[in-house]
Amino acid sequence: MTAAVLHVTPDSVPANERVFESECLVKSNMPVNNDYRLLILDAPAEILNCTPGQFFHIQCPVRGGHQPYLRRPMSIYGYFPEKGELQFLYKIAGEGTAALAELESGESLNVVGPLGQGFHIADDWQNLLLLARGVGLATLAPLALEAQRLGKKLTAICSARSPELLMSIDYFRDLGAEIITVTDREGTSDLAHLQGVIEGLIAGPGIDAFYTCGSNRLLKLLQELGAKHGIPGEIALEQQMACGLGMCQCCVRSFRAENGIVHKRVCKEGPVFDLQEAMGW
């Protein structure tokens, strides 16, 4: 199944305390719509002890005119120890992902992980709200699976430019989530409409925690609603990285703290952070 698994000891360890470098075999690498592709790897059990929100550092292949130098951090779309599968949902956005898209079944891909600190679901949080757009939904997909495992009620507000670009809808629905879709084309994805939808959920069944990923405007909206209604939350941040292990300081960002502004590494202290600590960009 895999060529080798090497235990890595970085500057820090993730929430589940074990990091590996592994050669995984590509099971499939197919488009899911005009923008995104789903990469499924045949992976050893050692690297599938993941937490929702963690990521892997992927060594993109050198192909033709594509010669990516650094690894690419990629959030986990799915991890299934019972099937020996590790999944990534990605968009071709540069040289690394363009090279990744050329991988075929049976080829090898080197990955390091799982890395970073993942999402947290408190025992007394029963009604969870997930709000994300585009590929941000990929990062939150494992959270939906964990919510089902814990018996939590999940509402997923899924946003996209158009209905055909909405992703993970069936996946979230199969996990028992209530689905609300909003799109630019239908004129339902603006902040005023989203605020009204979320305020309605708060007034109705109630919301115990917010979760989001990647979008500055969605972050600010949830921060305002969280502060107004006393609702906690978490955000998974995206950031360029070099080492992915906390050593190079490439991914440092500013965060709010009780005593002022502090600086944290997205790869080590994150990529998941307290919603109110995160600063817009």
Q: Is 49 left (phi over 0), alpha (psi -120 to 50) or beta?
A: beta
Q: What angle do CA 173, 234, 35 make, to 5 degrees?
A: 50
**How many C-beta atoms lie closer than 10 Å to residue 75's C-beta?**
25
- Can you give the length of the chain in residues? 281
Strand partners of residue 31: 37
Q: What is the mean pLDDT of residues 150-163?
A: 92
202 sits in which H/E element: helix 191-203
Check the annotation: does 134 bind a ligand: no
Taking the C-alpha atoms of residue 147 and residue 142, their distance in angstroms, rounded to an integer, is 9
- CA 253 to mean position of chain CA atoms: 18
**Omega before residue 114 within 30° of 0, cis:** yes
20-68 pLDDT, tens per residue? 999 999 999 999 877 789 999 999 999 999 999 999 999 988 877 777 7
Task: Kindly report the pTM of this predicted structure.
Answer: 0.89
- CA 37 to mean position of chain CA atoms: 15
242-274 pLDDT, tens per residue? 888 889 998 999 999 888 999 999 999 999 999
Q: Which amino acid is at 144?
A: A
Check the annotation: does 213 bind a ligand: no
Taking the C-alpha atoms of residue 33 and residue 235, their distance in angstroms, rounded to an integer, is 26
Q: Is residue 93 very low, low, confident or very high in pLDDT (cuts 50, 70, 90)? A: confident
Check the annotation: does 24 bind a ligand: no
Q: Which domains does the chain have, with CATH numbers?
A: 5-115 (2.40.30.10), 127-274 (3.40.50.80)
Strand partners of residue 130: 156, 211
Q: Is residue 7 very low, low, confident or very high in pLDDT (cuts 50, 70, 90)? A: low
Check the annotation: does 73 bind a ligand: yes
Given a contact cutoff of 8 angstroms between Cβ atoms, the answer to whether 72 and 57 are in contact is yes
Q: Give the phi and the psi of residue 68 in degrees, each rounded to 5.
A: -65, 140
Check the annotation: does 168 bind a ligand: no
Give the sheet arrangement for strand 178-183, strand by strand: 178-183, 153-160, 127-133, 209-213, 233-236, 272-274
